[in-house]
Structure 1
Amino acid sequence: MSAVLVGISALLSCSAIATPLSEYYAEYQVSRKGEVHGEATRQLSKVAENTYTVRYKSDIEWMIFSDVRTEESLFEVHNDQVQPLHYSMKREGTGPDRDYRVKFNREDKTIHSNQQKYPLDVKWLAQQQDHLSYQVQLRHDLMAGKRKFSYPIIDKKGNQRSYDFAVVGEEMITLPFGNINTIKVKRLYDDSDRQAIAWFAPEYNHMLVKMFKGKDGMEQFQIELKHYQPDSKTTAK
C-alpha cells in the first residue's frame, strides 16, 4: 500500500511563461474500490517574480495502515519551461518514516540529495524535473495543445527516469460536485500490467480533477477533486 501512495503524489528570470501561472488551492478525496480512505490537498503559490511552490499533502488510513506525507517543489519558470530548484518529501505512518530532499544546482549543473554525500551520478538535462514540478509542466503543455509528453525525472532513489504520457481523448466524468468535461491523459509504461490515467478539466484552468492507478487489472487507488479555489489565500492543512 505504501508503494501505491507514492504514486498519489498526482506545474527568476528575464523571460517568464507566456501566461503567468495561476495560484490555486484544491482538495481531493482518496478512495479504493469505491470506499473513501483519506483526503489530499494541492496548492500552488507564487513566492517571487517567476518563482513558485507547489505543495501536495495526503492523509490516508486503510485498515491498520496509515500514511501522512507532504511533498513540496520550489521552481522557477523560464521560456515556458518549469525548472525545479528544490524538492522535499516527508512521510510518517505505518512502517519507516522518510525524509527526502533534492536540490538542483543550475550554476554547476549538479543535483544533490540528502541521501547521498556527493552529487548524484546522473547526466544534467535542461528539462530535468522532480516528482511534482513535472506535473506543473504537463498541465502547461496540455494548455498549449500538446498531445504527447515526456519528462526526465529524478526519483526518490536518485535515479534518472523518463515519465511519458499521451492524450487519449475527451470524456465527461462525474465528481463529488457533479459532471465535468475533461481531457483524458494516460501514462505510457513499458510494463503493460501497470496503468495510470489522469483527467484534466479545461473549465477549471486545466486542473487535475481525477487520477486512477491500477496494476494487473486491479484498482490501486483513485483521487477525485471535491473543492477548487482559484487562488492560494486558503492555506493547505
Structure 2
Amino acid sequence: MSMNFRNQAMPAIKQLAVCGLFALSISVSAQDSGDSSVPLQPYAASYTAYKWGDDVGEANIELSQLGENQYSLLYTSKVSKFFLSDKRSEHSIFRIEDSSVVPYQYYYSRSGTGPDKALKVTFSQQGEGKITVENGDTFKWNGEFDNQIYRLDLAKQLAQGKTSLEYDFVNYRGQLRHYGVEVVNEEVLSLPYGELAAVKVKLIRDSNKRETFAWFAPSLNYALVRLQQFKDGDEQGDIKLKSFKTL
C-alpha cells in the first residue's frame, strides 16, 4: 500500500469509527420522561457501517440493568477498509436519580491501525462534585454527562416534541465539550432493518468543518436508526440500523 493512499484512507476509516461515538442512542419510552420509577427498557441493537458505498463493518449497543436504578450501556464498533482497521468500545455505568441520568464511570478503548488508546473517567458526587480523567485533568462537576449518556436525555426530549437542545459532556478524549442538537425534519428511511419513519436531527458544533446527522425512530422508542457524517462536504461514514430487540 502506498503511503499516499494510506494517508488518504486512514482519516476516512477514523472518521467512520468516530461516527459511532455520537451515533448510538439509548432507547427510552415516552412514559419514562416524567417518572423515575419506570425502569429503562434493556435492549440490543446492531448497525451496518458503510464507506464509499461498501459495507465496511458494524456497530453494536446493549443497555442492561445492573441493579435498582443502575444501568450499563456498552457500545462496540469494528470497521475495516483494505488493510486499515479500527475497533472501539465505550462503556458507561450510570444511575437514574429523580428522573435524571447521573454518570458514574465511563471507559473508552480503541485499537487497530495506528496507536491504541484507552480512557477512564469517574464522576464523584462527594463534596462539590468532580470529574476525574485517569492520567489526565480533573474538573469541577457542573452536571456534565459522559460521551454516551447525554443521548438518553435526547431521546426523552425528542419524545416530548422538543426541537432544539444543548448538552455539556466529557468526550472520549477526556475533554469538556458543548453540542447543540436541532431537529431538521421527519423522513421515512429504507434500512437493512426495514422501512421506518424517523426524526432527523443535526449535531451543532463550534466548527463548521464537520456535519453530523442522526435519525431517531418513534416506533422504536426514539432509538437511533441511522447516522451520517460529513467533513468539508465529503461523506465520512453512514451507519444504518440492522437489528433491534428488547431484552
Deviation at 1:167, TM superposition (A): 1.0
Q: State which of 42, 48, 55 in structure 1 corresponds to 2:67.
A: 48
Residues of 2 paired with 1:17 and 1:111: CA distance?
Answer: 24
Which residue in the other structure is 1:181 paired with? 197
Residue range with higher mean Cα deviation, 153-162 or 217-226: 153-162
Assess if the C-alpha contact under 8 Å between 2:61 and 2:73 holds in 1: yes
Q: 1:74 aligns with which of 83, 86, 93?
A: 93
**Unpaired segments ≥5 residues, structure 1:** 232-237
Equivalent position amino acid for 2:20 in 1 = I
Amino acid aligned to 2:154: L
1:211 to 227, 232, 238: 227
2:51 counterpart residue number: 32
Please give the alpha-carbon distance, in whole angstroms, between the structure 2 residues aligned to 1:64 and 1:96: 15
CA pair 26-19 structure 1, distance change in 2 beyond 3 A: same
C-alpha distance in 2 between matches for 1:18 and 1:216:
45
Q: Considering only aligned residues, what root-mean-square deviation do their CA atoms show, in Å?
A: 1.7
Match of 1:114 among 109, 134, 142: 134
Kindly indicate whether the alpha-carbon contact (under 8 Å) linking 2:95 and 2:102 is maintained by their aligned counterparts in 1. yes
Task: Provide the C-alpha distance between the structure 1 equivalents of 2:173 and 2:121, rounded to a whole number of angstroms.
Answer: 10
CA contact (8 A) 1:53 1:75 kept: yes
Please tell me whether residue 7 in structure 1 is matched to residue 27 in structure 2: no
The 8 Å contact of residues 15 and 237 in structure 2, kept in 1 or not, is answered as: no
The Cα of 1:94 is off from its aligned counterpart by 0.7
AA partner of residue 6 (structure 1): V
Deviation at 1:40, TM superposition (A): 0.9
Give the conservation status (yes or no) of the 8 Å contact 2:19–2:237.
no
Per the normalisation by structure 1, the TM-score is: 0.89
Q: How many residues align?
A: 224
* 1:115–1:16 distance in 2 versus 1, CA, 3 Å: farther
Aligned counterpart for 2:103 among listed residues 84, 89, 97: 84
Q: How far has the Cα of 1:49 moved from its partner? A: 1.0
Aligned to 1:133: 149
| Deviation of 1:53 (Å) | 0.9
1:98 matched residue in structure 2: 117
1:164 pairs, out of 174, 180, 195, with 180
The answer as to whether partners of 1:183 and 1:199 remain within 8 angstroms in 2 is yes
- Relative to structure 1, the CA distance from residue 67 to residue 184 in structure 2 (aligned partners, 3 Å threshold; closer, same or farther) is same
State yes or no: 1:124 paired with 2:133.
no
Matches within 5 A, 1:185-200: 185-200=201-216
Q: Distance between the aligned counterparts of 2:35 and 2:218, measured in 1?
A: 22
Matched letter for residue 111 of structure 1: I
Distance 1:139 1:51, change over 3 A: same
- The Cα shift of 1:158 comes to 2.8
Q: Which amino acid aligns with 2:108?
A: M
CA separation of 1:4 and 1:130: change in aligned 2, threshold 3 A:
same
Distance 1:88 1:16, change over 3 A: farther
Q: What's the CA shift string for 1:83-126, capped at 9, x where partnerless? A: 1100001111111111111000112311111222xx51x34212
| Counterpart code for 1:110 | K
C-alpha separation between the residues in 2 aligned to 1:21 and 1:140? 11
Q: Judge conservation of contact 2:64–2:72 (CA < 8 Å) in 1.
A: yes
Secondary structure, counterpart of 1:139 in structure 2: helix
Give structure 1 regions of 4+ aligned residues with deviation exceeding 6 angstroms: none
Find the counterpart in structure 2 of residue 234 from structure 1: none
Q: How far 1:230 moved relative to its partner?
A: 1.3
Distance 1:177 1:111, change over 3 A: closer
Contact 1:16/1:78, CA 8 A, preserved across alignment = no
